[in-house]
Amino acid sequence: MTSPGARLRSHWNLPDSPPSTALMGIVNVTPDSFFDGGKYDSTETAVEQGLRLASEGAHILDVGGESTRPGSGEVSYEEEIARVVPVLKELHRRAGVPLSIDTRKSAVAAAGVSAGARVINDVTALTHDPDLARVAASNDTGLVLSHIRGTPKTMQSQPHYDNVLQDVRDDLARSLDLALRAGVSEAGIAIDPGIGFGKTLKHNLILIRHLFELRSLGFPILLGPSRKSFLGSLLDLPVEKRLEGTIAVCTWAVHEGADLLRIHDVKEVGRAVRVAEAIAAEGV
């Protein structure tokens, strides 16, 4: 029987050869993202960054035009479209890998798909704009459902869970039900526990430690730990010095069966993933 991860690779047009953990390279076309805000906020610099990540081994590029860092406000859909569509069009023409549009708005998702995106990455798991599921269904795109409590502006204001692993699982199950009832292809859906999105340091560590338990939902798992603030809390380091922490989480995620990693540092994480997968393969 074909595994959920294999079905996802086919639906998203990802390579079906190793590594079994696919790498999603981050392209933020924003002035204010927490790590690379302002670095790639023009079409030319964003396209250059996307091409570089693809050359370093990214299997898919995730292009976003609105920062969802803790405390960030909302960008109008018109501005978001103006930021991402030219980048998506050029990367679709030149990058040679599938593209994802990182947005919580259905209008932006529709524009992104028209510009060449194969996947919609919704950081709110349909809680912000449920109509996004209709866009995914009508275009037969992939869909990432990423868990969040609150909004990016409010999510880190005393987040609370009775049991974070069970609560996140239950919230994702509800979002999956919405997506499937809207007609989104089961083969194209991935789930993301939403590290750093309405979670304390302890919440994040529990979710990473027990990542495999989310497989009971029956869908591939994407993890996005790249350079996030929980690593800064653990290591007492600024964002530009969190690469080693990112690599540590990503190698653990390989052990826990993650299907995709959303990362800024494709070359470095990719090398670590290859080693981790080689070790895991020897235990089979």
Asked if omega into 159 is within 30° of 0 (cis), the reply is: no
Catalytic residue among 105, 118, 242, 262: 262
User: How is residue 48 written in tokens?
Assistant: 């250059």
Q: Which of 174, 150, 170, 8 is nearest to 72 (CA)?
A: 150
Six token digits for residue 183? 């007609």
Could you tell me if 30 and 244 are in contact, meaning their C-beta atoms sit under 8 angstroms apart?
no
Annotated active-site residue in 83, 105, 228, 242: 228
Q: Is 262 a catalytic residue?
A: yes
Phi, psi angle pair for 27, to nearest 5°: -125, 100
Torsion angle defined by CA atoms of residues 279, 269, 199 and 166, in that order, rounded to the nearest 10 degrees: -30
Q: Is 202 a catalytic residue?
A: no
Residue 171, Cβ neighbours under 10 Å: how many? 19
Q: Which residues are catalytic?
A: 228, 262
